[in-house]
Amino acid sequence: MIHTLNLRQYQSRALLRSVLTSACLALGLLAPGATLSAQEARPVAEDPALEKKVITLSNELRCLVCQNQTIADSNAELAVDLRNQVRKQLSEGKSDREILDYMVQRYGEFVLYRPPFNYKTILLWAGPFLLLLIAMFILIQQIRTRHKHLASEEFNPTDLSRAKALLGTKSEGQS
């Protein structure tokens, strides 16, 4: 039987595991660097095609603990549990869409590694382009301002002859 944990239960277990590991290290029961962690899920499907679908679908779901990894890449206990849940549902004959919908219903759209383009995620998709446009606008304004400032700045003949002398060139009046 596959047991699915909600996020709060997982966090409680992770905290308990951390406290137990710290206590064991303090008492000298564990070697430094050792941890009490969940074992990695091993493929239980006899069918390689099913296992390939599990991996493909697992790459579409975000690990709710790691947040920057898919559940296929993560070794967190919750990710292992979610992979097992995906495997179970695929073996029951559910479609990819049904499994993704189930995960979204249970964990929210955050669980999708590539969220859909809709009104809730418009800033996520358009944000980088907006920032780029704003940066380009600011850069163009800065260039224009400097150009106007340099163009409006007039030099008197004394400054020009002094600059030419410093540069080692002859002034226009000299030959």
Residues 70, 32, 39, 14: is their CA dihedral positive or negative? negative
Please tell me whether residues 83 and 162 are part of one structural domain: no
In a domain, 175, yes or no: no
Q: Are residues 79 and 134 in the same domain?
A: no
Tell whether 53 is covered by a domain. Answer: yes
For 49-64, write each residue's pLDDT tens digit.
888 898 998 998 988 8
* Residue 115 neighbours by CB distance under 10 Å: 15
Given a cut of 80, whether residue 46 has pLDDT beyond it is no
Look at residue 173 and tell me if it is in a domain: no
Are 100 and 158 found together in one domain? no
Hey, CA dihedral for 87, 90, 92, 94, is it positive or negative?
positive
Residues 71 and 147 in one domain: no
- Residue 28: band (very low, low, confident or very high) from pLDDT cuts 50, 70, 90: low
pLDDT at 50: 85
Q: What is the pLDDT of residue 18?
A: 66
Q: Which of 94-98, 107-111, 135-139 has the lowest mean pLDDT?
A: 107-111
Segments forming the whole domain that contains residue 38? 7-111
| 62 three-state secondary structure | strand
Tell me, what's the pLDDT at 29? 54
Same-domain pairing of 101 and 149: no
Q: What average pLDDT does the segment 34-45 reach?
A: 49
Domain count, the chain: 2
Average pLDDT over residues 164-175: 69
Tracing tokens 């479609």 back to the chain, one arrives at 95
How many DSSP H helices and E strands does the chain contain? 6, 0
173 or 1, higher pLDDT: 173
Radius of gyration of the chain measured on its C-alpha atoms: 31
